[in-house]
Amino acid sequence: MSQKGAPEKCSKCDLDLPMDGDIVICYGTGKCHFHNDIKCSGMQPSTYSAKSNAKKMEWICQGCRSNKNKEEKSTGKSATTPAEGENISKILEKISKDVSLIPNLQLVVSELQNKVEDFRAAMDHMSNTNDEILKQYKKQEEKIKKLEKNVKELEETVKQKDHMIWELREDLDELQQYSRNRNAEIANIPEKNGTETEENLLEVIEKIAEEGNIQFNRQDVDIIHRVPSKKKNRPRNVVVQFKTRTARNKFLENKKHGVTVKKIVQGSQDTSRIFLNEHLTAATKHLLWRAKQEAKAKSYQAVWVRDGKIFLKKQLTDKASLRIRNERDLERL
């Protein structure tokens, strides 16, 4: 900043100041004036030029600042204002309070450290527990795998046993059926309660043969009797065991004879038909019933029994017939 009436000599170097006013003015007690360079004013010219006018008027050189400090020390004046002292007191008081809290903070930190240690111990315990659980789980998993393997082996064994049982049952039924290859079974012959004899039955069968044009000779009969029945409202069936299979087969040749109860019992009005069939085992009868159901459901036109064996035909004109030995054969229809 330049001003008229400025001293002609620099307060630092005692050389003439420039007349263009490019000088630095100290507003301290000495009213010093300097060249605008770092050697005299202690500032770079650019630094001084960058200051605002208000800041320039507050600038004091190093010499005036030193003199001011010496005066304050000699007079006992403090360089700190009352407001600054009050602020310093508040700061010191706050620091004192904060320092007083340090023991409490140390206690809190200690408690937190203890809790952290407890937590860490708990986590370690949980980790060990989890490791043990995982170990036990792996053991149980291995046991389960072994049990599953055993179950599969048992299932396979049971499957094999079941197959063997089915085969044995089929073999047994075939043997039982073979033992009946000379037998014929007659249904719907009325019973004479308490008075029926073999002779009576033979006479009735002779009458059936006569009415139905059926080949029958009582000399061909070995045994004749009724068999137990679960149906209480119907007469028990009559089984005739012939001496030869040939005689039995001739007797069964004309199954569609059309003979009814009315024709063989004097005075009866019962039109129930008399049925002549091979003497089948219970298992073969059940299989025949199932075969008839499946044949109806799947449009097979013929189901019949010959020598204790069950056969099916899809069409009556088919040359080949299908033998049914068991339920599995029906499932494959």
At residue 96's C-alpha, the angle toward residues 95 and 98, to 5°, is 65
State whether the Cα torsion 154-157-159-161 is positive or negative. Answer: negative
Cβ distance 34 to 23 under 8 Å?
yes
Q: Specify which residues 47 forms β-bridges with.
A: none
In contact, 188 and 275? CB cutoff 8 Å: yes
Going by the DSSP 8-state scheme, the letter that residue 112 receives in this structure is H
What confidence score (pLDDT) does residue 117 get? 85
The residues near 221 (Cβ < 8 Å, ≥ 6 apart) are 202, 240, 241, 242, 243
Tokens found for residue 176: 């039982």
Query: What does the DSSP 8-state code read for residue 17?
Result: P
What would the 3-class secondary structure string for 136-189 be?
A: HHHHHHHHHHHHHHHHHHHHHHHHHHHHHHHHHHHHHHHHHHHCCCCEEEEECC
- Tens of pLDDT, residue by residue, the chain (333 residues): 444 454 578 887 888 788 776 788 887 765 687 766 766 877 788 887 888 877 777 778 877 877 777 766 666 554 455 555 666 777 767 776 666 667 777 777 888 888 888 888 888 888 888 888 988 898 888 989 999 999 999 999 998 988 889 888 888 989 999 999 999 999 999 998 778 899 999 999 999 999 999 999 999 999 999 999 888 888 999 999 999 999 999 999 988 888 999 999 888 899 999 999 999 999 999 999 999 999 999 999 999 999 999 999 999 999 999 999 999 999 998
Rounded CA-CA distance 44/245 in Å is 145
Say if CB 209 and CB 221 are below 8 A apart.
Answer: no
- Residue-level pLDDT at 313: 95
- pLDDT reported for residue 2: 43
Nearest in space to 314 (alpha carbons), one of 328, 296, 327, 326: 296
Q: What integer pLDDT is reported at residue 86 of this predicted model?
A: 63
User: Cβ(287)–Cβ(310) under 8 Å?
Assistant: yes
